[in-house]
Amino acid sequence: MAMPLTLRRSRALPATTRDDAVISLRGVSKWFGSNVILKDVTFDVPRGKITAILGPSGTGKSVLLKNIIGLLHPDEGEVLVDGEAIGSMSERDLFRVRRKFGVLFQDGALFGSMTLYENIAFPLREHTRTGERDIRAIVHRNAELVGLVDHLGKLPGEVSGGMKKRAGLARAMVLDPEIVLFDEPDSGLDPVRVAYLDELVVTAQRETGATFFIIPHNIPSVMRTADHLGLLFRSRLIRFGPKDAMCASDDPVIRQFLSGTTEGPIGMDEMADGGDGTRPAAGRDTTTLDRSGSAPFLTGGTTSRS
């Protein structure tokens, strides 16, 4: 059953130095109308590591991701990428910063009328002057990394959900991004396919040295992949730190979420969890991400509230 909880300010375990951070959030708050989605969120994403942000459904994880990429802007605080505050940037500078990002969506977000080869090649053809011979070499290199070389001629409708995710990962990596964002990459996959995808994620990060930022739901997946963890609850960041320190934490929210039990502060309904005057699940964000998986070319939508 849900238990009372007094929220504390977000704190790091231990603090990541600014020099080591590729992404920094400083006092980020976001609301839609009267509905607070994020409140005073502060943490640093270590460069060249795998970071996962966890939390119950409706705690603002996707909104957090969109603030990082610049599709949404904080109402308070700032987001910095390589030390540059993106909220005050011109469109030209924001485009430049977005070139550092690749994105893997929940369902892979592949173009249904294109083969896997064409999907992976799309960012190169659309946004670079790379010749077809070099495109072929790059596509095959990334397809080999995710085990899809023998399936490049197939359409997305002809392959499994796991293969779509792998093709989406290959496309997200095709422009050699410094940062790759993963929006629930484990959704819709059985445990075995999740384990295979986790191996690919770890291998890709090690081979490229890129920073991977993941919003997952699967705790075993997080344990296999992440170097650092953060946990959002009631719009706030409860804690952020190295995985081992987080797993050893005595914080009741962290312990309950990582163990997946019903005993603790997290109730069945996130709307009913709030005791701090906020209703984090009520806001509805309709900003959309571009399907190409190539972050410079993400397109913003509108925001609304329900």
Q: What is the mean pLDDT of the chain?
A: 83
Indicate the pTM of the whole model.
0.81
1 falls within a domain: no
170 falls within a domain: yes
Whether the pLDDT of residue 12 is over 50: the answer is no
Residue 189 has what pLDDT? 82
Whether the pLDDT of residue 6 is over 90: the answer is no
Whether the pLDDT of residue 303 is over 90: the answer is no
13 falls within a domain: no
Are 272 and 2 a contacting pair, CB within 8 Å?
Answer: yes
Query: Could you give the number of structural domains in the chain?
Result: 1
12 falls within a domain: no
Query: What residues contact 127, with CB distance under 8 A and at least 6 apart?
Result: 175, 294, 296, 297
Give the range of the structural domain holding residue 169, as residue numbers without chain letter.
Answer: 18-305
Whether the pLDDT of residue 161 is over 60: the answer is yes
Eight-class DSSP state of 2: B
Residue 104 has what pLDDT? 85
Average pLDDT over residues 135-156: 94
11 falls within a domain: no
Residues in the chain: 306
Least confident residue range of 96-100, 138-142, 256-260, 302-306: 302-306
Listed residue (225, 188, 178, 232) closest to 64, CA to CA: 232
Q: How do residues 247-287 score in pLDDT, each as one tens digit?
A: 999 999 999 999 998 988 998 765 554 444 334 444 455 55
CA distance 275 to 61: 19
Q: Which residues of 200-226 are buried (b: 16+ CB within 10 A; e: fewer)?
A: bbeebbeebebbbbbbbebeebbebbb
Residue 19 has what pLDDT? 62
CB-based burial label for 178 (10 Å; 0-12, 13-18, 19+): middle
Residue 271 has what pLDDT? 52
Q: How do residues 167-178 score in pLDDT, each as one tens digit?
A: 999 999 999 999
7 falls within a domain: no
Average pLDDT over residues 150-169: 92
Q: How far is Cα of residue 124 from the mean position of the Cα atoms in its chain?
A: 22
CA distance 139 to 65: 27
Average pLDDT over residues 43-49: 97
Q: What is the CATH number of the domain that holds 251?
A: 3.40.50.300
156 falls within a domain: yes
Average pLDDT over residues 106-134: 89
238 falls within a domain: yes
